[in-house]
């Protein structure tokens, strides 16, 4: 199943790898699913402790044939450590998503995607601004969904969290891999602009992605941009966000993707008996 890979694997917040399907319009694209960090202020550190972020998503691309892509990050586990590097909080995380790809009147592919391990450093920059960097690798896996090679991913994130606002930008680069079984180098940007009213949250999200290289002769570089809305509710211990997005531009994907998402953030362990908020309060 060589060119059947790359569909969804998650990173820093995430790593959902975007897969290529032979004889269809669902091409390779970025290893990290575009848009996966929307809604999450990735520039800010989580409070000290062990955290789990669950991210289910389902979408349909109106290509010919139609391609439905569902995935779930069952537990993106993040340890926000008590340690610092140059004044920034050190966080360590890992994730391994499950992906299902259904081609209309064609085959279905499903299985675990590549595991991702990552290190983050996040700073409080003052006046409501936060920023940080992340670096990690996708580990190889032999499956219908995963990639049998190692690749690197780097992230820079900036968040403004004040008076209930979450204005966040996440910039992500991945190396991909050369060859017919590989994928292009890629760049994603995820954008969030939301406002909290008490425990409720509402706002807009957007994301874009573009290929930066051609891994093999004849590969057609892809790009896309999507917009959508977000509603959320803070249950104190659990923070839940729901999103709906739709492509407004695409090139070489063969159609526009409509997608529903959820972000479910839960504290697993805090350094004291008192429960911590499910996200830094803003």
- pLDDT one-digit tens code per residue, 241-275: 999 999 999 999 999 999 999 999 999 987 754 45
What 3-state class would DSSP assign to 4? Answer: helix
Q: Is the domain 2-268 a CATH 3.90.920.10 member?
A: no
- The overall average pLDDT reported for the chain is 86
pLDDT at 116 (0 to 100): 96
19-23, 160-164, 218-222: which has the minimum mean pLDDT? 19-23
d(C-alpha 61, C-alpha 26), whole Å: 8
Residue 273: phi, psi to the nearest 5? -75, -20
Residue 16 scores a pLDDT above 50? no
Could you tell me the CA-to-CA distances from 155 to 138, 158, 187, 202, 262 in Å, in that order?
Answer: 14, 10, 10, 25, 21
Q: Model confidence over 112-158: pLDDT tens digits?
A: 999 999 999 999 999 999 999 999 999 999 887 888 999 999 999 99
d(C-alpha 199, C-alpha 196), whole Å: 7
Task: Name the residue with higher pLDDT: 271 or 30.
Answer: 30
Average pLDDT over residues 4-26: 31
User: Where along the chain do its domains lie?
Assistant: 2-268
pLDDT at 50 (0 to 100): 95
Length of the chain: 282
81-90, 172-181, 221-230: which has the minimum mean pLDDT? 172-181
What's the angle, vertex CA 144, arms to CA 103 and CA 243, rounded to 5? 60
């Amino acid at each position: 199943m060589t060119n059947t890979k790359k569909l969804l694997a998650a990173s820093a917040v995430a790593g959902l790898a975007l897969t290529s399907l032979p004889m269809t319009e669902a091409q390779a694209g970025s290893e990290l699913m575009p848009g996966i960090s929307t809604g999450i202020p990735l520039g800010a550190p989580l409070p000290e402790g062990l955290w789990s972020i669950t991210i289910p998503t389902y979408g349909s691309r109106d290509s010919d044939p139609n391609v439905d892509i569902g995935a779930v990050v069952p537990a993106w586990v993040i340890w926000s450590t008590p340690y610092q590097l140059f004044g920034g909080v050190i966080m360590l995380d890992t994730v391994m998503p499950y992906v299902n790809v259904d081609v209309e009147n064609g085959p279905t592919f499903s299985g675990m995607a590549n595991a991702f391990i990552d290190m983050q450093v996040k700073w409080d920059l003052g006046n409501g601004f936060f920023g940080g960097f992340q670096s990690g690798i996708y580990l190889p896996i032999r499956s219908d969904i995963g990639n049998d090679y190692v690749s690197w991913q780097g992230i820079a994130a900036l968040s403004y969290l004040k008076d209930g606002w979450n204005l966040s930008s996440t910039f992500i680069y991945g190396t991909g891999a050369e060859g017919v079984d590989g994928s292009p180098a890629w760049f994603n940007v995820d954008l969030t602009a939301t406002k909290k009213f008490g425990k409720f949250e509402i706002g807009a999200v957007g994301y874009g992605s573009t290929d930066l290289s051609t891994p093999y002769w004849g590969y057609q570089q892809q790009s896309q941009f999507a917009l959508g809305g977000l509603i959320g509710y803070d249950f104190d211990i659990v923070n839940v966000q729901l999103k709906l997005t739709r492509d407004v531009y695409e090139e070489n994907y063969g159609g526009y993707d409509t997608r529903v998402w959820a972000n479910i953030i839960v504290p697993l362990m805090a350094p004291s008996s008192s429960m911590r908020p499910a996200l830094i309060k803003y």
